[in-house]
Every structure is written in structure tokens, then in C-alpha cells.
Chains A and B, each alone.
Chain A
Amino acid sequence: MSEKNPLPVGPRTPVLLLLVVASLVLLPLVLPSATLATEILIFALAALACNLLLGYTGLLSFGQGIFFGVGAYGAALLMIHLKWGLFAALLGAAVFGALLALLVGALAIRRKGIYFVMLTLAFSQMAYFLAYTLSGWTGGDNGLLDVPRPNIEVFGHVLVDLADPRHFYAFVALLFLLIFAFALRVIRSPFGSTLLAIRENETRAAAIGYDTRHFKILVFMLSGAITGIAGALYAMLLHFAPLSNIDLMMSENILIMTIIGGTGSLFGSLLGAGAIVVLGDVLSELWPRWLMLLGLILILVVVFMRGGLWGGLAELGKRLRPGRTLSTKTKETL
């Protein structure tokens, strides 16, 4: 499916987690607003989930926007109509995302390669028009308005007031760290190693005893759940769930962030999301046609930096520290 470039070699788990924590602390300090920083983390979650499919399993999915949108609508509706709290709504979004992914995955995974991609594309289109048509629920073109952002409460007592953008950032950052650590564990588990095997050579993976379809559906569900959470957080951030959440463009953006950051590197997803969100923020003020530049950047990355931003940084690190030998590095892949 995806072009097979050698896996980037990553640092050990504690180093990587430290890197993430440092980034999470630095982000709101260097960026003009906590809201922008929060937006980066939300898209980094979506890109990370996409990376599990594209980078680790070799599945190019144009359906990520479905799960993002469903997470946003689902959480919003649960909070608006059923008055669900913060954690319940996020959990609900994860379940919606996973169930939709099961539905899409179970059908799309019957086909391989280009046909798989086309099926995810078809589902994406269907989901968009469904959301557009069901305007009683989704608000249609206008989007779903007045989405609450519940506080963290214990027995009606407000523990953390999330209306403050800095508080909300801290909450999202903590959630990001947890999900990142979880995803890292998954990747370095027997399950994750099997995903890599499927990415590398599905026929061989089946021949040595793996029911590859089960693995693909499971990782699809995991990806759907994480993307659903990202969608829910985005709706809470904006107090609004626009129709564009479930648009094909959303799937595309998530894919672009994943590829620019570096497929097969979880930290790369944070870099990719950061780069695109910040670029969008800066460039859109300077020039309304900034998306053209984004296309150019994508071309440059795909042609010259196959490992994405992460690969570029790793290459730089290698040049700065030539002492490290290959044998110590090949042991741990990210």
C-alpha cells in the first residue's frame, strides 16, 4: 500500500516520553495563545491515530474525518441532550469512533490496496452527506451550536474550571500524554509488532499464522476511538461542531499532518500537526491562498524527506552525534 521506507529508528521509551512532556510544557509558552496550542494537540491526536494505520499497518484511510466528526457530534449531542459530563462524553466519543471504525473497517478491509482506499473514500462521502441531511441532529450546514465544555467535577463540586483556555490546554495535554504513552505501549507489544509485520508483508504474516483481518479491524477501531476523542475535544474547544469536521477535507488534513510529521513515528504526528496548524495560522493571515504553499510543502516532504519532519530531525541528530553505532539503534524501532 504505502511506499515502504525503512522504519525510522526511535529513542528509548523514557527519552521519548520526556520529549513529549517537554513539548507539552513548551507549546503554550512559545505560541501566542493556549487555544492554538490546544488545537495542535487535538490534531496531533488525530494524526497519531492515523499513523497507527498508515505508518504501522500500511493502511491509507480516507475515513479519519468520519471518526473525527462522529466524535464531535456524538460528544456534543450527549452533553447537550443527556447532560453528560466531561469524561462520560469523551468516553462516548471514543465508543462512537470505535463502532464506526468497526463498521467501515469490517467492510473496507475485505479489499486491499487501492480498493481499500476507495472504500474508505466512499464511506467518507456518505458520512458527510448523512451529516448534512440529518440537520435536525447535526445542524447541517450551520454546524451544531452551543456545545458545552463541562468542568471537571466531583459530586457537583467544580474541581477544575475548564472555561479558562489554559486549564483546558492542561487537561488536553495530560490526555495527550496518556494516549501517547498508551499508543507507544501498543506499538511495542506483540500486537503492534504484528501490525508492522502486516505492513511489511501481509501474505507472509498470514502464512506464519496471523489472522491479518482481525488485526486490521482492531487497529482500525483503536484509531477510530482516538480520532473520536480528538473530535470531541475539538467540539469542546470551539463550543461548536462544524460540518467541516466530517468533510473529506478533514480526512485529507489528518493524512497530510501524518505524512509531513513522519509515518511510523508517533512523535512525528505531533510535529506534523504542529507544523500544519501553526503554518495555517500564520500563513492564512498573510495570504488567503496559503493552501497552495501547503501543497508545495507536502511535495517537498514526500520527495526529499521520506521520513517526514521526524525523519529529518533524526537525520540531523545522527550527523551531530556520529559516535552512535548502527547496532544499538536497530534494536528499537519507534
Chain B
Amino acid sequence: MSEFLLETRNLELAYGPFRAVGGVDLKVRPGTIHTVIGPNGAGKTSLFHCLTGERQATAGSILFNGRDIVRKPSHGRVALGMARSFQLTSLFQNLSVRENLRLAAQGRDGLGALNFWRSVEHKRSHWDTADQVLERLKLTGRADTLAGELSHGQQRVLEVGMSICARPSLLMLDEPTSGMGIDDIPLMTELISDLGRDHTVLLIEHNMSIVMSISQRITVMSHGQILVEGTPEFVRNDERVRTAYLGEAA
């Protein structure tokens, strides 16, 4: 076991001459909520895409549990213990909330999902996982509702909730509060800090104020590179962050 659960070395994602991610060394310690923030266009989402496997990094490496996974396709990263949520809600809209979660639990099984001769009812553990997560998300009452019929806030909660069904060691959440109403945001930050007790969380966030309270570690990105990294306190008081980021917001 290495010191870091996730580590990138000189990670780069270039679109032609433009380097959206230009040599990033990110180090995430196990058991922390680690947030990557930065103004629009800082390269947060591009970095996230490299980590999830949605995009192939053009250079550098990604070590997960000490193992280089930079060439692994996204579906192959789930079995290793990585899970993600989407910035734009991406659910199985016409399936029930419970089935959404059950499918996410089944996804970790790899070839087990190729079983075509047994009923889905047979595999109790997936249903149990789904029910436990339902409870944790406080969605038990809506288990049989179609995911597409949930309120927007509940859909965001389900979006994040699906990522814990595979019992990952690393949760990667892409702007989980995006598009949420101001009243729903405390609900989400509460959920994330709750999940942080069982999982290492890598959070991508645009809104700086909501991550200060829940993060142990914050990396600030700007122009595709890491600008500053440290505790929330340290980052808050850093002059460079103020100019690059807070200056813009203020």
C-alpha cells in the first residue's frame, strides 16, 4: 500500500496545441475528502475525465493503489474500486430508483453480469446493497418511483448515491451540487461529508464556499496546472488563489 490512494504524475491532456491539463501531479491520501477547485476553464473537468477514463491522457501516468491505470477503460476502473458521478445528471430515467442502485451494485461483478439463466431476484446481495443505499440517501419511500420522476434535488442525490453501490475505495464526484437550488445544497454537502467517513472522496467543485467546510485538502487549479495545494485554511489565505479565483468571484 502506497502513501497515496490516487496519484497522477505529470498528467497531460492536450487537444492539439492546447493543453487542457498541463502536467499535473495530484496526490490523494486515503480517507480524506480532497477537493479540486478552480475558476471556469482551469482544467478541472479535463483532469476528471482523465481520472475516470472518459478521456485518454496524452502523457503522464495515473497510479491507483500504486498501479498504473492510465490505459484502463472507464468500465475497467470500477472493479479496481473507483466510482464516479456525473456533473450532468446521468441516470436510468425509465427504471425505478431501486433498480438504478441495484444495477450499480451489479456493475462491480464483472463477468457475473453476463449471467443470463438466472433471475435478477436470485442475487440478494445486490438488492440488499440497493436497499442500504436507499436508506442512506433517505430515498426509501421513493424506491419504486422511476428515477426520471424524482425532483431535481433527489436526482442529484441518486446520482451521487449510485457511485457508492459498487463499494469503491475512491469516490470521484464531478460538481455534485451543479444545478441544485440554494436550499438543496446543504443536503448535498451533508451527504458528501457522510460518505467521506467510509470512502476517500475526490471532489471537483466550482463553488469554493461550499467545499471549505467539508474538505480536508484542497487543490486549486488554474490554466491546466496546480496553483496551490493545502488545507482549506491555507488555501483561503493564499494570495495567488485570491487573485486567480476569489478575485474573479468578488
A residues at B contact (CB < 8 Å): 4-7, 185-186, 188-194, 196-197, 200-201, 203-212, 214-215, 218, 326-327, 330-331, 333
Contact = CB atoms under 8 A, between A and B. Distances in A.
B17 interface: no
B51 interface: no
Nearest to A7: B94
Given A189-B118, A209-B78, A209-B107, A197 B123 contact: no
A214 to B, nearest CB: 8
- Complex A-B, nearest 9 residue pairs according to Cβ-Cβ distance, in ascending order: A209-B78, A209-B107, A208-B107, A191-B116, A200-B92, A208-B104, A189-B116, A204-B90, A186-B116
Most buried by A among B78, B84, B120: B120
B112 A190 contact: yes
A32 to B, nearest CB: 39
B5 to A, nearest CB: 19
B93 A193 contact: no
Contacts of A191: 113-116
Interface string B25-42: 000000000000000000
Given A190-B113, A196-B95, A209-B110, 12 more contacts: A4-B93, A6-B94, A7-B94, A7-B95, A189-B115, A193-B103, A194-B106, A200-B92, A204-B92, A208-B103, A209-B107, A211-B75
Given A189-B115, A210-B75, A4 B107 contact: no
B113 A206 contact: no
A187 B146 CA distance: 19
A205 B79 CA distance: 13
B24 interface: no
B86 interface: yes
A192 B86 CA distance: 24
Most buried by A among B99, B103, B116: B116
A71 to B, nearest CB: 21
A50 B248 CA distance: 55
B162 interface: yes
Contacts of A7: 94-95
A200 B146 CA distance: 12
Nearest to A186: B116
A7 B99 CA distance: 13
B52 A207 contact: yes
B119 A188 contact: yes
Interface in B87-109: 90-96, 99, 102-104, 106-109
B61 interface: no
A206 B74 contact: yes
Nearest to B90: A204
Most buried by B among A5, A189, A191, A203: A189
A209 B108 contact: yes
Task: Categorize the interface residue count of chain B.
Answer: 35 or more
A332 B186 CA distance: 35
Contacts of B76: 211
Contacts of B93: 4, 200-201
Interface of B: 52, 73-76, 78-79, 83-84, 86, 90-96, 99, 102-104, 106-110, 112-120, 123, 144, 146, 162, 165-166
B94 A188 contact: no
Contacts of A203: 86, 90
Contacts of A189: 115-120
A208 B144 contact: no
Given A185-B117, A188-B120, A330 B96 contact: yes
B146 A190 contact: no
A158 B176 CA distance: 69
Contacts of A214: 114
Contacts of B113: 190-191, 194, 210, 215
15 contacts: A185-B117, A186-B116, A189-B117, A190-B113, A190-B118, A193-B103, A197-B95, A204-B86, A204-B91, A204-B162, A205-B107, A206-B75, A209-B109, A210-B75, A333-B95
Contacts of A192: 116, 120
B91 A201 contact: yes
A211 B120 CA distance: 19
B40 to A, nearest CB: 23
Contacts of B146: 6, 330
Given A196-B95, A197-B95, A218-B114, A330 B144 contact: yes
A190 B112 CA distance: 8
B133 to A, nearest CB: 13
Contacts of A208: 78, 83, 103-104, 107, 162, 165-166
Contacts of B107: 205, 208-210
A243 B91 CA distance: 44
Contact of B95 (A5, A186, A190, A200): A200
Contacts of B117: 185-186, 189
B103 A194 contact: yes
Contacts of A5: 94
Contact of A212 (B75, B110, B123): B75
Contacts of A326: 144
A185 B120 contact: no
A200 B94 contact: yes
Contacts of B110: 209
Given A207-B74, A208-B162, A331-B144, A190 B106 contact: yes
